[in-house]
Amino acid sequence: MSKINNKFPGKDITLDDLKNKFPLCAKKNNKHQTRFKVNDILFGGKLIPIIAGPNTVESEKFIFNVAKFLKKNDVHFLRGGAFKPLTFPYRSKQYFETREKGINWFSNLRNKIKIPVITEITEEKYIDLFCKSIDIIQIGSRNMQNFPLLRACAKTKKPIMLKRHFGCSLRDWLGAAEYILLEGNNKVILCERGITANHTHRNSSRFLLDLQVIPALKEICHLPIAVDPSHATFWEPWVESMTLASIAAGADAIMLEVHPNPKKSAVDPLQAMNYKKFQNLKKKMSKVAISVGRTIK
């Protein structure tokens, strides 16, 4: 840890940060690693849990069918947004939120299909509903520094996935995680989902996957780290290679957007993967995981 001692004060993470800004997130020694189970699925161990599903909960039938497919294909968690903090406020028939209805569908399918669920919360007033209906609370990028929301979610002691804001440094991200740990909730998964960079390779690249943040984080922090290559690339043809690279780089979980008919995805249709591609990708994920001493099963 001595290497990071005040080399670039004010920019990089310093020893003072580890001691005084995010002491609860900081590793106490090299082996310090947080492990916790969510529905018998261990985060922070050898297993790399797979979280998959559509961008958005489009209808009850739709999410049930996707859940059934994913369960059959050994996916550990179902994802999908019922509350969507979309970049632009206009909604259409294709571009909507199912809100409380969507959360209730999750609650039903979780009982029937027995697949645990992660979904994004946007407002404190829905915390009780989330606590009884889903398994992991997702704090979206856009709310990474919504501190009252972080604290309120942390107090429930539910596991939380904290997505990195696309404009925030690792230092800011750990500062946000510290708010959750400070409430006595250690069940935190950090999720890298791409950052904004002026120089990307095509106009449609909204974000750039910060793969380097994985080893950087592991040097100083004991929390498991997930990667969401779908949001990071915004472009399905790049999702496979970035998923495999994330596993090779040490990701502790992978979140993927999977949709039965990506072109028809209500939100972000360019980044979703179809069923067949996902099944093929899983085989490759397994091989890469094994090569770095991990597993996806």
Burial letters 259-291, b for 16+ CB under 10 A, else e: beebeebbbbbbbbbebebbeebbeebbebbee
> Can residue 140 be called a binding residue for ligand PEP (CB under 6 A)?
yes
Among 218, 231, 282, 294, binds ligand PEP (CB under 6 A): 231
Q: For Mn ion, give the closer residue by CB, 135 or 268.
A: 268
For 225, phi then psi, to 5°, come to -120, 130
Q: Is 53 in the site for ligand PEP (CB under 6 A)?
A: no
Sequence-distant (≥ 6) Cβ neighbours of residue 153 within 8 angstroms: 121, 124, 127, 137, 139, 160, 180
Structure tokens at 14: 């310093």
Closest approach of Cβ 197 to ligand PEP, in Å? 15
Residue 228 interacting with Mn ion (CB under 5 A): no
Give, in order, the Cα–Cα distances in Å from 14 to each of 20, 140, 173, 180.
Answer: 10, 27, 15, 21
Q: Choose between 142 and 277: whose C-beta lies nearer to ligand PEP.
A: 142
Say which entry of ligand PEP, Mn ion, none residue 81 contacts (CB below 5 to 8 A, set by partner kind).
ligand PEP
Amino acid in position 67: A
| 268 contacts Mn ion (rule: CB under 5 A) | yes
Residue nearest to ligand PEP (CB): 140
User: CB of 123 within 8 A of CB of 139?
Assistant: no
Count residues binding Mn ion (CB under 5 A).
Answer: 1
* Stretch of residues binding ligand PEP (CB under 6 A), selected from 66-74, 99-107, 134-142, 218-226: 134-142
Min dist. Cβ of residue 209 to ligand PEP (A): 12
Side-chain half-sphere of 194: how many Cα atoms within 13 Å? 22
Task: Note whether 27 binds ligand PEP by CB under 6 A.
Answer: no
Residues 6+ positions from 29 with CB-CB distance below 8 Å: none
| Residue 135 contact, options ligand PEP, Mn ion, none, Cβ 5-8 Å cut-off depending on partner type | none
Nearer to ligand PEP by Cβ, of 76 and 193: the residue is 193
Query: How far, in Å, CA of 107 to CA of 77, rounded?
Result: 13
> Which residues are at the interface with Mn ion (CB under 5 A)?
268
Would you tell me which residues interact with ligand PEP (CB under 6 A)? 55, 81, 120, 140-142, 163, 193, 231
